[in-house]
Amino acid sequence: MSQVQATVDIESYLDTYESLRQAIEGWTEEQLRWKQAEGKWSATEVLTHLADHNIVVSFRLRVILSGSEARLPAFGQDGWVAGQKGNAGKASDILNFYRGLLLYNSLLFSRLTDADWEKTGVNFKGETVTAAAIIRSFVAHAHHHIAQIERIRLAQLETSGNGGYPS
């Protein structure tokens, strides 16, 4: 394994699926769609956002690998989640898609050389970023949202006694 590939840690990227699956294990669809307040995301919407973010990251990576001079795209996460009615989706469908995209991207990752991982693009903030940094950042972002799902679970428990969870 190359030095750059070791810093990307493809297994950590793939493991985000299992962490998400475990985070929502045992939840009903109603619990997954519960919102603490207007303007806050449900667990289903967090999953939707991470699936969307993985799509965008996948595109950004391919822009970099192609050698394009185009600026890497940003996306309005709240608008994306709301516009596609993310809370109406089924968590299992979202997770299945998310897992499929992780696996597809991992096939690409396994073909990349150190030079590929070090290729750069310019993000929407005007900063130069490497392909490796984009993937590391996504993994960290996913873990931030896994913690958000736990906070949603705790808020639901506080709001409704046991939140409908098994004792």
Domains of the chain by start residue, with CATH? 3-159 (1.20.120.450)
Closest to 62 (Cα-Cα) out of 48, 73, 76: 73
Residue identified by tokens 């046991």 is 162
What's the rounded Cα separation, in Å, for the pair 161 and 155?
Answer: 10
Burial class (CB in 10 A: 0-12, 13-18, 19+), 97: middle
User: Over the range 30-52, which residues count as b (16 or more CB within 10 Å of their CB) and which as e?
Assistant: ebbbbbeeeeebbbbbbbbbbbb
Name the 3-class secondary structure at 122: strand
Q: What is the pTM of this model?
A: 0.90
Maximum Cα interatomic distance, the chain, rounded to a whole number of Å: 55
Query: Residue-wise pLDDT tens for the chain (167 aa)?
Result: 555 555 799 999 999 999 999 999 999 999 999 999 999 999 999 999 999 999 999 999 999 999 998 999 988 999 899 999 999 999 999 999 999 999 999 999 999 999 999 999 999 999 999 999 999 999 999 999 999 999 999 999 999 765 454 43
What's the rounded Cα separation, in Å, for the pair 156 and 109?
Answer: 38
Would you give the distance in Å from CA 60 to the centre of its chain?
A: 14
Residue 87 and residue 43 in contact, taking contact as beta carbons nearer than 8 Å: no
pLDDT tens sequence across 50-90:
999 999 999 999 999 999 989 999 889 998 999 999 999 99
What's the rounded Cα separation, in Å, for the pair 39 and 144?
Answer: 18
Q: What mean pLDDT, rounded, does the chain reach? A: 92
pLDDT at 109: 97
